[in-house]
Structure formats: structure tokens, C-alpha cells
Amino acid sequence: MLADNLNILCTWLGLSCGFIERLLETSPGISGTDPCRCLSTDACWPSSTAFATLESKLSTPLVTPLPPATPCYSSLESEDCGAVQRLWLDGWWRANSSGATQHPNFAEFATPEGDTEVCYVNTTLGYPCGRGSIPAVGVDARSVEDIQLAINFAAARNLRVVVKNTGHDYLGRSTARGAFLIWTHHLTNLTYHDTFKPAGAPEGEVYHDVMTLGAGVQWQDAYDAAFARGRNIVGGISYGGSVGAAGGWVQGGGHSIIAPLYGLGVDNVVEMSIVISTGKHLVVNAHQHSDLFWALRGGGGGTWGVVVSVTYRTHPAPPINAAFFLTSINASTPDALTTPSPTLHKLFAELVRLTPALADAGWAGYADILASADTGHPALRVAYIAPADAPAAVPLMERFYAYARELAESSTLAQGKLRVATAVVSPLANFGAWETMIFRGKDGQGQVGLNVELGSRLLPRELIKRNHTKVADAVLGLELPFIGFYTVTGGVVSKVDPDATGIHPAWRKALVHLVFGSSWPEAASSDVVNEIREKNKKGEAVFREMTPDGGAYFNEASLYQVDPKSDFFGSHYQKLRAIKKKYDPTGLFVVHGGVGSEDWDADLHCRVSPHRTSRTRSDGL
């Protein structure tokens, strides 16, 4: 609004107006005294002329993000609508859309009147297609200069800013109603360095076999580049491959099935480049801007600026053993469809008991409790890997398999009849062969395209070792359709100095990342959604009490953390907050649960002060 008024005055006086834009672009935060960010529904929103001026300087036109189901509200028979319906669960398709979130519930908006503004793929539900919480306009950044122009434009006009990489975000941080979007999805440069010297490093400090990944690179592409050179790289994994390699995944910590072998994502970063709120492009590492480098490695995505690229170590790719275990449960009691059977309790409790020993033997991976495909009853599915040269790994896993087979033979329908469908250990050439076999050639597989909310907690090794029965009982008492018991820490992760990076120190004592949640259909009643949320909150409370010094993974967590500062960052919070004030003094970058978010209301729209009360979030959450 300031820019528009000054330009009108300038034109009326018959003066050249170009200096106004230059002044604003070089003076970010000129409107920073306003307690509320400017949204597209406000009078302060930039004029079409201002946006046209910005667009003329960018390398590609501005984007107007739209709900991905929009084409179906024009014609159900159109080719575009057919693509929407065919690809709704495809993570890559969603990542390629500036207006799509991987989980549609984060695009909903609750109006002040209590109505829901949303654009459902099921057009027969009778709802009009609304924009919901999707940003109004954005910059499709293809270069550092594009990002700088976007940040300076937003800072000068006090706009609400969101940064979106691939949109894979369980806390809805990559979208906001009425916001200005900075979309980094097309920064896909990928460079493999045989040798690499960090900026500012002394002579002789050289890394070998590292990769620099642009902000838009997705992990399947990064894996392909590493595997082609016979190397491993610590990264995220998902069906559909939509996790970004240089965005929120690493800034939140970055767990991986190979983290116990090589460390978390943050432990493998050599250097990062970022554009901060002043518009400056910084290359940060252990030698320059080391405080920001520390914060970026675990201090949370969307908080510090717009990350342009990340340079990672890679590692040798030796042979591995892969363990696959799949069960089903049948039971005679009706409530067993939602309540784990006594047989499943025994089986899972044995897995929990063995987890410290399995981890010490080299195993890491994912254990899920999901509904059996054939019976619908909760059952156990396991996918683990271990180095092929770990001598104790296979005998210990076979011991667990033998226990499961004996339990299957003795179980009854009344207790929950167990069937062990798969229990094998297979030698594979390397981690790349495992990742390709499990995750390639698939779309979202239920991981995207659905309404989802999660809860999580880091479970310390000592807790599991000391009282595995209590842990197993609490996990199976969650009464949620999805539970993940992930051994993605321990090993090398536990050997890193807890203060070496900004990530919560609880990661260094944890052995398991527990994650749980549920989904619901489009247009589900508020009673259904609230019931799911209450179960998530109940689970959060149970595990917070069990782990008073624990924490939660910022990228896979609850929207209802009682104490986000403690849960996400622990004893590092005050240091992170000081770094935040140094590099983003006006608070241009703020996300739910992130560093500095306590200064803002529930919508992250207005600063909270003694004279201003916070509001309830209105994005369907």
C-alpha cells in the first residue's frame, strides 16, 4: 500500500517514479512496524501494476496457484479433469503444481461464519471449488536473483510469505491463505563433486565425493545420481518420491533408514546457500556464518530464509541384508477390527524387546502396525536393512521370525489368529537396490492425496531397554489406524555431539521415532475429524509423560504440541531464537511451531501483544 500511494503521488507531481521501487527493494522491512502481515484480502495488498513490475524483472512469469481439482469444476469430461482424477494420489504430480499440497486438508479454510472453503476432487459432494488456504500469487523461482526479488518485494510490503518446495508437509507450513508464495520446486540443479572445498575453508580442507542439490531436487533424483556413482546418500524416502532433498526435510533434521550407519541428514551437510530476509545471498558452513549453519541443521524449515542449495557427503554403498516381515491377524471378536489382539500384543512386545539388540546388530528400518489387507484387523509389517558384513544381524532376525512362527502355531481365533505371510532375509547388492525395489514405480500409495494428521515422539533407548512392555502397551493403546515404530536413529546418530547442530538433543539418545495418525474422507463431519484429533492429542500426552526429556520430529509431528519450543528444539531453543533475531529481525519467515512463532497469533497473521489476543487457526486445523 505504501508503494502504491507513493507512486500515485509521484505521478501526480510529474516526477520519475522508478526510484520508489528501487527504494523499497533495497529497504526490506520498511512496513515492518505494522503488527499484521498484509494478505490478499487486505487493502494494503500490492496493485496489479506493482506485481507487473515485479514480474518484468523475474526470469519466469508469476504463478497464480489454484486448487488441483479446479479443472473438474469446469468440465468433468475434460482431459485436465481426467488427469486430476487419475493422478490424485501421485506425489510427483502434486509436487509439480504450485497450488497442490501433498495432503489436501492443509488447503482447507474455515471461514469466520463456520463454513469450509475447499475444492474437493469429488464434485458430487455439492461444495463449490474455493481457494481455501492456497496462496494468492507467487514467484516460481529459477535463480538466486528471482528469490532475492521475491523477498525484497514481500519485505517492503509486509506480505505474509510462505516457502514451498515440494509441498510434502505434515504441519501445513508450505501454504497459507492470502499469502505470497516463493516456490523453489524448479531449482533442480544437481552437481557431483569429486573434490569440494567449502567457501572460506583453509587450504587443505577438502571433501571428496559430495553432492550439491538445488532446493527443488527430490530424493529419488538425488538417489539416482548417487547410485549411478556407486555411492549412498542419506535422504528421505516416500512412495511417490516427493520428499525434497534441500528443503524442510534437512532443516528439520532428516531421518533415514541409513541414518544409523551415516548420521542424520543434518550430520551429513557440508555447506548450504540461502537468501535471508534482507535479500542477501549467503553461503554458510563451518567457516562463515557458522551460527546460521548450525541453526539451519535442525532449526526447522521455512524459518531462516529461502534455502537455495545443500551440499551433502556421500558414502560407499556396500552389500546389505534386507529383512521383510508381513503378518495378518484374524479374530472372532468384533472390536478386534479397531483394537489390537492379544496375539499382536505378544508379537509386537517381542519386537520392542529385541529392538536395542537388533539396532546393535546393525538393523534399522520401519515397523508399521496397519490393517491387514485380507482381514482388516491390525497387524505388523516390518522392513529392515543391515550391512551384509554384520555377523550378528541375520541370526538375531531369524530368532524373531522363529518366535513369530511359534506364536502363529499356538494362537487361536479368540486371541487373534496370526498368519506369518512373509518372513525372509534377502541379500541385496546395496541400499540402492532396496530403495528401488520398495519405492519405485509407485504413486503416493496412500501417503499423499489424503487428509492426514500425525503425532510423534522420540523414544529413548534406555526407556525401551528398561521397560519394553510399557512401551508396547502404550503404542498399541493408541487406537489409531496407522502406527510407525521406526528404528532410524541410534548407531552413528547417537555418537554425534548433541550440540553439534541445531536439532533437538533428544535425537542423540533416541532409538526409535514413533509416529502415528489417521486420515479421513472428503467432507467428513467435524465430529469424525475431532475424534481423530482427540486420539492424537491423547497419544501425545501419554508419550510426553513417558519421555519428559524427549522431543518430537519437527517434520512428522502433531499440530497440537503443548510446548513446541521444548518438543521440537529442547535446550537449543534460546540459541536458535537469538540467531533468528540476527538473520530475520522483522520475522518475515514464520511457520507453525517454528522458532519465533510464539510472537504471532494462531494464523501467523498478526503479532501477539498485551493489547492483541491470538485467534484460532482458520485453515481447517
Distance separating alpha carbons of residues 279 and 148, to the nearest angstrom: 5
> Across residues 546-551, what is the average pLDDT?
93
Amino acid at 478: L
CATH class of domain segment(s) 320-562:
alpha beta
Distance separating alpha carbons of residues 287 and 548, to the nearest angstrom: 35
**CATH second-level architecture of 190-316?**
2-Layer Sandwich (3.30)
**Region of 596 on the Ramachandran plot (φ > 0 left; ψ -120 to 50 alpha; else beta):** left
**Residue 14: is its pLDDT beyond 60?**
no
CB 503 within 8 A of CB 254: no
Distance separating alpha carbons of residues 168 and 556, to the nearest angstrom: 10
Q: Which residue has the higher pLDDT, 543 or 376?
A: 543
> Which pLDDT belongs to residue 618?
53
Alpha carbon distances (Å) from 417 to 191, 242, 376, 406, 407: 52, 37, 13, 12, 9
Beta-strand relationship, 315-316 and 281-284: unpaired
Amino acid at 92: W
**CA dihedral over 363, 367, 372, 373, signed as positive or negative:** negative
Beta-bridged to residue 381, according to DSSP, are: 326, 368
Query: What tens digit of pLDDT does each residue of 487-509 get?
Result: 999 999 999 999 999 999 999 99
Q: What is the 3-state secondary structure (H, E, C) of 84-143?
A: HHHHCCCHHHHHCCCCCCCCHHHHCEECCCCCEECCCCCHHHCCCCCCCCCCCEEEECCC
> What 3-state class would DSSP assign to 274?
strand
Q: Which three cell numbers stand for residue 489?
A: 536413529
pLDDT above 90 covers a percentage of the chain that reads: 82
Identify the band that residue 28 occupies on the pLDDT scale cut at 50, 70 and 90. very low
**Residue 26: is its pLDDT beyond 60?**
no
Taking each helix axis as running N to C, give the angle between helix 18-25 and helix 2-12, from 0 to 180 degrees, rounded to the nearest 10: 160
Beta-strand relationship, 180-183 and 161-164: parallel
> Which pLDDT belongs to residue 11?
43
Q: Which three cell numbers stand for residue 493?
A: 546418530
Q: Considering just the CA atoms, what is the radius of gyration of the chain in Å?
A: 25
Domain with CATH 3.30.465.10 in the chain: 190-316
**Residue 8: is its pLDDT beyond 50?**
no
> Which pLDDT belongs to residue 2?
45
Distance separating alpha carbons of residues 119 and 127, to the nearest angstrom: 7
Across 207-267, the runs of DSSP E, i.e. the strands, are 207-214, 231-232
For 304-323, b/e burial (b = at least 16 CB within 10 A) is: bbbbbbbbbbbbebeebbbb
| Residue from 260, 258, 266 nearest 234 by CA | 258
Identify the band that residue 30 occupies on the pLDDT scale cut at 50, 70 and 90. very low
Q: Which three cell numbers stand for residue 4?
A: 502504491
> Residue 334's CB: how many other CB atoms inside 10 A?
8
| Residue from 274, 143, 249, 255 nearest 199 by CA | 274
Beta-bridged to residue 218, according to DSSP, are: 244
CB 593 within 8 A of CB 568: yes
Q: Give one DSSP letter per residue of 286-330, joined into a string.
A: SSSSHHHHHHHTTS-TTSSSEEEEEEEE-EE---EEEEEEEEEEE
Q: What is the 3-state secondary structure (H, E, C) of 517-540?
A: EEEECCCCCHHHHHHHHHHHHHHH
CB-based contacts of 225, cutoff 8 Å, min separation 6: 190, 192, 211
Taking each helix axis as running N to C, give the angle between helix 393-410 and helix 342-360, from 0 to 180 degrees, rounded to the nearest 10: 170
Query: What tens digit of pLDDT does each residue of 114-163 get?
Result: 788 999 999 999 999 999 999 999 999 999 999 999 999 999 999 999 99
pTM for this one?
Answer: 0.92
**Residue 612: is its pLDDT beyond 90?**
no
Q: Which residue has the higher pLDDT, 185 or 166?
A: 185
Identify the band that residue 559 occupies on the pLDDT scale cut at 50, 70 and 90. confident
For 556-576, b/e burial (b = at least 16 CB within 10 A) is: bbbbbbeebbbbbbbebbebb
Determine which helix (DSSP H) or strand (DSSP E) holds 227, and give its type and residue range.
helix 219-228
How confident is the prediction for the chain on average, in pLDDT? 91
Amino acid at 608: V
> Across residues 371-376, what is the average pLDDT?
85
Identify the band that residue 33 occupies on the pLDDT scale cut at 50, 70 and 90. low
> Residue 230's CB: how many other CB atoms inside 10 A?
12
CB-based contacts of 302, cutoff 8 Å, min separation 6: 162, 163, 173, 174, 248, 251, 589, 590, 591, 594
Q: Which three cell numbers stand for residue 106?
A: 492443509
Domain with CATH 3.40.462.20 in the chain: 320-562
Q: Which three cell numbers stand for residue 535?
A: 486420539
CB-based contacts of 531, cutoff 8 Å, min separation 6: none
CB 364 within 8 A of CB 434: no
Query: Dihedrals φ, ψ of 37, to 5°?
Result: -70, 155
